[in-house]
Structure 1
């Protein structure tokens, strides 16, 4: 599938994605991409975040591809049961282990427990070996439970601006391969 044939919904995590974050850069690059805006990026509420995501998916006119980062991944896996038939694929980056209170900030724990059922869509998860918010072992476990393809990003931190992933060309290349695999 070509990027121009899909509505690309960018789903940021806690705090939103600033202007230098790879998600913000992708919105500028892809003509069919838009951000799922939340009313409150700093005090995440599971019902509000998933409700906004469901509304955005339902408003799309082309096949939907979700591109989620961090807490946005948790919002996606919680919302999918409501919109699964409308979503063609999900590109999930740096999922936080919201079930591990020692790893994630208190506001993010509202998204626990993380669903563990198969996602039922074509999905790739990109995980880092040294992400402070999720161990690689937990990311691997989630990929097996969700039945997603796991891509090992190596030692890449949280795959955000703070870890040096502003433009993130490797992510762009992986996303192009992901889109090519969508039917």
Structure 2
């Protein structure tokens, strides 16, 4: 696959380890850039969205594709609500429900989840058995954000623990946004 867009990888809580599909994509496509956060374990929403904005504005925003996983999905929604930048699109994978009682403590400012229509094309990828978000909530987020919803079945949190290390199917979804 060939990507001409500037692809920014945005991991969720705790960052994405070496075996995670986001890291695999960075190895496969050296031009993909990871947005690094100051604090991966006790994040503050305002800090995370500022890091996204700095990265997006470093070059032509209209040519940027964001690839968010887990907490990064709602972070991207907060970023869109705050800055309203005209980017090319976003792939939002396994959006965590930061309003759920089961969500891990230690995050600041990530609830309530923004429910505005995103000002760019987006795809939400969800699973039927994700511990961090029910399919109903992921569907609700996708509808609120104006995103295409892709239900990939029983795929857990779409991370290493659920066997998603290379995840070539995800690259095909990113390619949809590239077009």
Considering the TM-score relative to the shorter chain, is it more than 0.5?
yes
Question: Alpha carbons of 1:130 and 1:108: their partners in 2 closer, same or farther (altered >3 Å)?
Answer: farther
Q: Deviation per CA, 1:115-152: give whole Å up to 9, x if none.
A: 00101210000000000000000111111111100000
Query: CA contact under 8 A between 1:116 and 1:146: conserved in structure 2?
Result: yes
Partner of 1:146: 145
For residues 48-63 of structure 1, what are the structure 2 equivalents within 5 Å? Answer: 48-61=47-60, 63=63
Query: CA contact under 8 A between 1:57 and 1:86: conserved in structure 2?
Result: no
Instruction: Give the unaligned 5+ runs of structure 2.
Output: none
How many residues in Structure 1 have an aligned counterpart in Structure 2? 178
For residues 13 and 158 of structure 1, the distance between their equivalents in structure 2, rounded to whole angstroms, comes to 11
TM-score, normalization by structure 1: 0.91
Secondary structure at the residue paired with 1:5?
A: coil
Partner of 2:128: 129
Partner of 1:43: 42
Instruction: Tell me how large the CA RMSD over aligned residues is.
Output: 1.6
| 1:163 Cα offset (Å) | 1.0
Instruction: Give the unaligned 5+ runs of structure 1.
Output: none
Q: Deviation per CA, 1:145-165: give whole Å up to 9, x if none.
A: 111000001000000011110
For residues 25 and 86 of structure 2, the distance between their equivalents in structure 1, rounded to whole angstroms, comes to 22
Partner of 1:171: 170
| 1:81 Cα offset (Å) | 3.1
Query: CA contact under 8 A between 1:3 and 1:30: conserved in structure 2?
Result: no
Query: CA contact under 8 A between 2:4 and 2:178: conserved in structure 1?
Result: no
Query: CA contact under 8 A between 1:57 and 1:83: conserved in structure 2?
Result: no
Partner of 1:97: 97
Secondary structure at the residue paired with 2:171?
A: helix
Query: CA contact under 8 A between 2:7 and 2:64: conserved in structure 1?
Result: yes
For residues 36 and 111 of structure 1, the distance between their equivalents in structure 2, rounded to whole angstroms, comes to 18
For residues 155 and 122 of structure 1, the distance between their equivalents in structure 2, rounded to whole angstroms, comes to 25
For residues 36 and 171 of structure 1, the distance between their equivalents in structure 2, rounded to whole angstroms, comes to 19
Moved over 6 A (4+): none
More helix per residue? 1
Partner of 1:27: 26
